[in-house]
Structure 1
Amino acid sequence: MTMRSFSKMAWLVGAGVVLTACNSTSVRVGGAPDASIKNCVAAASRELRVPAGSIAVDSGTTPRDGVYTINLKVGPQGRSAVCTTDENSAVLGVVYKRPE
Protein backbone atom coordinates (compact mmCIF):
# COMPACT_ATOMS: atom_id res chain seq x y z
CA MET A 1 0.00 0.00 0.00
CA THR A 2 1.40 3.37 -0.98
CA MET A 3 1.39 6.38 1.32
CA ARG A 4 -1.21 8.03 -0.92
CA SER A 5 -3.51 5.00 -0.66
CA PHE A 6 -2.99 4.87 3.09
CA SER A 7 -3.87 8.58 3.40
CA LYS A 8 -7.07 8.09 1.42
CA MET A 9 -8.00 5.09 3.55
CA ALA A 10 -7.33 7.02 6.78
CA TRP A 11 -9.44 9.93 5.55
CA LEU A 12 -12.34 7.62 4.63
CA VAL A 13 -12.24 5.91 8.02
CA GLY A 14 -12.16 9.28 9.78
CA ALA A 15 -15.08 10.57 7.70
CA GLY A 16 -17.02 7.42 8.51
CA VAL A 17 -16.45 7.92 12.23
CA VAL A 18 -17.64 11.54 12.03
CA LEU A 19 -20.72 10.57 10.00
CA THR A 20 -21.54 7.72 12.36
CA ALA A 21 -21.23 10.04 15.34
CA CYS A 22 -23.49 12.59 13.68
CA ASN A 23 -26.17 10.01 12.81
CA SER A 24 -26.60 8.63 16.33
CA THR A 25 -29.65 9.63 18.40
CA SER A 26 -28.07 9.88 21.85
CA VAL A 27 -27.28 13.13 23.68
CA ARG A 28 -23.62 13.92 24.44
CA VAL A 29 -20.96 16.63 24.06
CA GLY A 30 -21.88 18.91 26.95
CA GLY A 31 -25.56 18.01 26.68
CA ALA A 32 -25.88 19.26 23.10
CA PRO A 33 -28.42 17.28 21.04
CA ASP A 34 -27.10 15.31 18.10
CA ALA A 35 -28.91 17.66 15.71
CA SER A 36 -26.84 20.56 17.06
CA ILE A 37 -23.63 18.58 16.61
CA LYS A 38 -24.54 17.54 13.07
CA ASN A 39 -25.55 21.10 12.14
CA CYS A 40 -22.31 22.48 13.61
CA VAL A 41 -20.15 20.11 11.59
CA ALA A 42 -22.06 21.01 8.40
CA ALA A 43 -21.91 24.75 9.12
CA ALA A 44 -18.21 24.62 10.03
CA SER A 45 -17.46 22.76 6.82
CA ARG A 46 -19.31 25.39 4.81
CA GLU A 47 -18.13 28.50 6.70
CA LEU A 48 -14.51 27.45 7.23
CA ARG A 49 -14.28 25.85 3.76
CA VAL A 50 -12.95 22.48 4.85
CA PRO A 51 -14.27 18.95 4.25
CA ALA A 52 -16.68 17.73 6.94
CA GLY A 53 -14.43 14.71 7.40
CA SER A 54 -11.64 16.97 8.68
CA ILE A 55 -13.77 18.31 11.55
CA ALA A 56 -13.75 16.55 14.92
CA VAL A 57 -16.09 17.37 17.78
CA ASP A 58 -13.92 18.07 20.81
CA SER A 59 -16.21 19.07 23.68
CA GLY A 60 -19.22 21.16 24.48
CA THR A 61 -20.98 23.19 27.12
CA THR A 62 -24.41 24.58 27.81
CA PRO A 63 -23.67 28.10 29.10
CA ARG A 64 -27.40 28.87 29.47
CA ASP A 65 -30.62 26.97 28.87
CA GLY A 66 -31.16 26.15 25.24
CA VAL A 67 -27.86 27.49 23.93
CA TYR A 68 -25.09 25.01 23.21
CA THR A 69 -21.42 25.74 22.60
CA ILE A 70 -19.58 23.01 20.72
CA ASN A 71 -15.78 23.04 20.45
CA LEU A 72 -14.36 21.67 17.21
CA LYS A 73 -10.91 20.66 15.98
CA VAL A 74 -10.48 21.56 12.31
CA GLY A 75 -8.07 20.14 9.76
CA PRO A 76 -4.93 18.07 10.18
CA GLN A 77 -3.42 20.65 12.55
CA GLY A 78 -6.50 20.47 14.80
CA ARG A 79 -7.13 24.22 14.77
CA SER A 80 -9.70 25.14 17.43
CA ALA A 81 -13.10 26.50 16.42
CA VAL A 82 -16.34 27.06 18.30
CA CYS A 83 -19.93 26.69 17.14
CA THR A 84 -23.06 27.83 18.96
CA THR A 85 -26.60 26.59 18.42
CA ASP A 86 -29.99 27.50 19.85
CA GLU A 87 -32.55 25.22 21.50
CA ASN A 88 -33.83 24.19 18.05
CA SER A 89 -30.32 23.15 16.91
CA ALA A 90 -30.07 26.14 14.54
CA VAL A 91 -26.47 27.30 14.20
CA LEU A 92 -25.96 30.82 15.54
CA GLY A 93 -22.29 31.06 14.51
CA VAL A 94 -19.01 29.31 13.77
CA VAL A 95 -15.63 30.96 14.31
CA TYR A 96 -12.01 29.97 14.73
CA LYS A 97 -10.70 30.55 18.24
CA ARG A 98 -7.78 32.91 18.71
CA PRO A 99 -4.48 31.07 19.14
CA GLU A 100 -3.34 31.17 22.75
Structure 2
Amino acid sequence: MKRTFGALALLFIFGTLLVVASPQHGLKFGLGGNGWKDYRYTDQYYIDHGVQEVGGMNIVTDIVFDYRGYDTIGEATVLFTAIAGAVALLRPWRGDKNGE
Protein backbone atom coordinates (compact mmCIF):
# COMPACT_ATOMS: atom_id res chain seq x y z
CA MET A 1 0.00 0.00 0.00
CA LYS A 2 2.76 2.44 0.93
CA ARG A 3 4.68 1.57 -2.20
CA THR A 4 1.65 2.18 -4.42
CA PHE A 5 0.94 5.51 -2.73
CA GLY A 6 4.57 6.58 -3.16
CA ALA A 7 4.54 5.64 -6.84
CA LEU A 8 1.29 7.53 -7.43
CA ALA A 9 2.60 10.59 -5.59
CA LEU A 10 5.81 10.52 -7.64
CA LEU A 11 3.81 10.16 -10.85
CA PHE A 12 1.58 13.10 -9.87
CA ILE A 13 4.59 15.31 -9.10
CA PHE A 14 6.26 14.37 -12.38
CA GLY A 15 3.07 15.10 -14.34
CA THR A 16 2.66 18.45 -12.62
CA LEU A 17 6.24 19.39 -13.48
CA LEU A 18 5.65 18.44 -17.11
CA VAL A 19 2.57 20.68 -17.30
CA VAL A 20 4.37 23.59 -15.65
CA ALA A 21 7.40 23.22 -17.91
CA SER A 22 5.41 23.09 -21.15
CA PRO A 23 5.27 26.44 -22.97
CA GLN A 24 1.59 26.02 -23.89
CA HIS A 25 0.31 25.73 -20.30
CA GLY A 26 2.95 26.73 -17.79
CA LEU A 27 6.08 28.77 -18.28
CA LYS A 28 5.65 31.29 -21.05
CA PHE A 29 9.26 31.77 -22.07
CA GLY A 30 11.18 28.81 -23.33
CA LEU A 31 13.68 28.13 -26.06
CA GLY A 32 13.34 30.27 -29.15
CA GLY A 33 11.28 33.35 -29.84
CA ASN A 34 11.62 36.84 -28.44
CA GLY A 35 9.06 36.53 -25.65
CA TRP A 36 11.76 36.06 -23.03
CA LYS A 37 13.11 39.56 -23.61
CA ASP A 38 9.98 41.07 -22.05
CA TYR A 39 10.75 39.34 -18.76
CA ARG A 40 14.54 39.72 -18.77
CA TYR A 41 14.94 43.50 -18.92
CA THR A 42 17.43 43.61 -16.04
CA ASP A 43 20.06 41.73 -18.04
CA GLN A 44 20.44 44.54 -20.54
CA TYR A 45 20.39 47.13 -17.75
CA TYR A 46 23.32 45.43 -16.01
CA ILE A 47 25.24 45.22 -19.28
CA ASP A 48 24.61 48.87 -20.20
CA HIS A 49 25.10 50.52 -16.78
CA GLY A 50 27.23 48.07 -14.81
CA VAL A 51 30.64 49.59 -15.54
CA GLN A 52 29.52 53.19 -14.90
CA GLU A 53 27.59 52.48 -11.69
CA VAL A 54 29.92 49.98 -10.05
CA GLY A 55 33.27 50.70 -11.63
CA GLY A 56 34.36 47.08 -11.97
CA MET A 57 35.46 45.48 -15.19
CA ASN A 58 33.93 42.04 -14.51
CA ILE A 59 30.16 42.30 -14.84
CA VAL A 60 29.51 38.94 -13.14
CA THR A 61 31.42 39.98 -10.02
CA ASP A 62 29.69 43.35 -10.06
CA ILE A 63 26.26 41.72 -10.11
CA VAL A 64 27.05 39.18 -7.40
CA PHE A 65 28.77 41.51 -4.95
CA ASP A 66 27.18 44.89 -5.61
CA TYR A 67 23.72 44.62 -7.11
CA ARG A 68 22.82 41.39 -5.29
CA GLY A 69 25.05 41.65 -2.22
CA TYR A 70 22.41 40.98 0.43
CA ASP A 71 21.06 38.05 -1.53
CA THR A 72 24.57 36.58 -1.78
CA ILE A 73 25.10 36.94 1.98
CA GLY A 74 21.76 35.23 2.62
CA GLU A 75 22.61 32.34 0.29
CA ALA A 76 26.00 31.89 1.96
CA THR A 77 24.31 31.84 5.38
CA VAL A 78 21.80 29.21 4.30
CA LEU A 79 24.56 27.10 2.74
CA PHE A 80 26.70 27.31 5.89
CA THR A 81 23.74 26.41 8.10
CA ALA A 82 22.86 23.41 5.91
CA ILE A 83 26.44 22.13 5.98
CA ALA A 84 26.70 22.61 9.75
CA GLY A 85 23.39 20.76 10.23
CA ALA A 86 24.48 17.88 8.00
CA VAL A 87 27.78 17.56 9.85
CA ALA A 88 25.97 17.61 13.20
CA LEU A 89 23.52 14.90 12.08
CA LEU A 90 26.11 12.64 10.47
CA ARG A 91 28.65 12.90 13.28
CA PRO A 92 28.81 9.74 15.36
CA TRP A 93 27.50 10.25 18.87
CA ARG A 94 30.03 9.67 21.58
CA GLY A 95 28.95 8.35 24.91
CA ASP A 96 30.83 8.50 28.15
CA LYS A 97 33.17 5.64 28.84
CA ASN A 98 31.49 5.05 32.19
CA GLY A 99 28.16 4.36 30.51
CA GLU A 100 26.42 7.44 31.91
Give yes or no for TM over 0.5: no
Which has a greater percent of helix?
2
* TM-score normalised by length of structure 1: 0.30
Instruction: Considering Cα pairs closer than 8 Å and 6+ residues apart, tell me whether 1 or 2 has the greater RCO.
Output: 1
Q: Which has the larger radius of gyration?
A: 2
